Amino acid sequence: MKKPLHYAKLLLLYTCLLMATNLLKAQDTTMAVKHESAASHLQIFADLNTDHWLNMPDSIKYKIIRARGVNVYMRYDIPFGNSRFGFTPAIGIGSFNMGSNATFSWGGDDTTRITVVNSSYKVNKLLVNYIESPLEMYYSNKAKTPLRIALGVKAGYLISSHTKYKKDSSLKEKIYNVNNLLTYRVGPTIRASYGWFGLQAFYSLTPLFEKGLGPDATPFSIGLTIAPY
């Protein structure tokens, strides 16, 4: 009678070990799926802009070839359950790159003045960079090649700036840390894409320069957006 009892114990032990092994495999599979799912919501995307400014004198003309800005962000999609809507926080670097016939100078009262460059030149531009965070609400139709529409707002903090002037190969000038730039920018964004490519726009609710200390320039940008799906 002892042998059948011994075999029964061994069978019970084997069954428990088999169940424990299957449970551990199931947990590993679940964790892998969750990890893969989380990674699929993390994306890097870029905006290629043409930059503009409003409220500038009529004599100031921008050059669209020299007014090219680039934004690069990392975003994380947070879907609202199984719906087609969601929320996307992001962080990255944004730029405002204005090529024009405007030059900046600073007087004894520390204000930033703008004048027109009357002589010929190859390059004359202002470049401003921000670290910024776009926050967007989006709609996606969840198709194989998805249509995505997003509305949001972004806020940025000034990290660097400079002007660049090049008359010819012998005369080049860069001035860093342009005076009286506002140290932040805030404004609404809109984005619409199909698959990897789309259109986007940003309008700044804040001026480029501090009030009363520089030109009353209001930046806005329109361009392409490129993002994986």
Q: Is the pLDDT of residue 225 over 70?
A: yes
pTM above 0.85, yes or no: no
With 60 as the cut, is the pLDDT of residue 4 above it? no
Out of 54-58, 77-81, 91-95, which region has the weakest mean confidence (pLDDT)? 54-58
d(CA 207, CA 45): 26
Report the pLDDT value the prediction gives residue 6, as an integer from 0 to 100: 52
Specify the amino acid at residue 77. D
Q: What angle do CA 57, 60, 63 make, to 5 degrees?
A: 145
Average pLDDT over residues 147-171: 92
As to burial, measured by CB atoms within 10 angstroms (0-12 exposed, 13-18 middle, 19+ buried), residue 84 is middle
Of the chain, the percentage scoring pLDDT greater than 90 comes to 56
Q: Which amino acid would we find at residue 9?
A: K
What band does 5 get if pLDDT is binned at 50, 70 and 90?
A: very low
Segment among 12-26, 36-50, 168-182 with least mean pLDDT: 12-26
Report whether 205 contacts 186 (CB < 8 A). Answer: yes
Residue 162 confidence (pLDDT) above 90: yes
Q: Is the pLDDT of residue 13 over 90?
A: no
C-alpha span between 208 and 125 (Å, rounded): 14
Is residue 55's pLDDT more than 60? yes
Mean of the pLDDT values across residues 51-73? 87
Q: What is the pLDDT of residue 20?
A: 53
Residues 126-137, mean pLDDT to the nearest whole number:
97
- Of the two residues 65 and 182, the one the predictor is more confident about is 182
pLDDT digits (tens, 9 = 90+) for 25-43: 555 444 444 444 555 678 9
User: Mean pLDDT across the chain, nearest whole number?
Assistant: 85
- The residue assigned the tokens 């092994």 is 21
Stated as kind and residue range, the H or E segment containing 19 is: helix 2-40
Greatest Cα-to-Cα distance within the chain, rounded to the nearest angstrom = 111
At residue 11, does pLDDT exceed 80? Answer: no
Q: Rounded to the nearest 10 degrees, how much is the dihedral formed by the CA atoms of 106, 110, 111, 114?
A: 0
CA distance 114 to 124: 13
Name the helix (H) or strand (E) containing 197: strand 197-203
Q: If you average pLDDT over residues 108-135, what whole number do you get? A: 90
What average pLDDT does the segment 50-72 reach?
87
Tokens of 102: 């405007």
Radius of gyration of the chain (CA): 28
* Alpha carbon separation from 31 to 1, 27, 34 (Å, rounded): 46, 6, 5
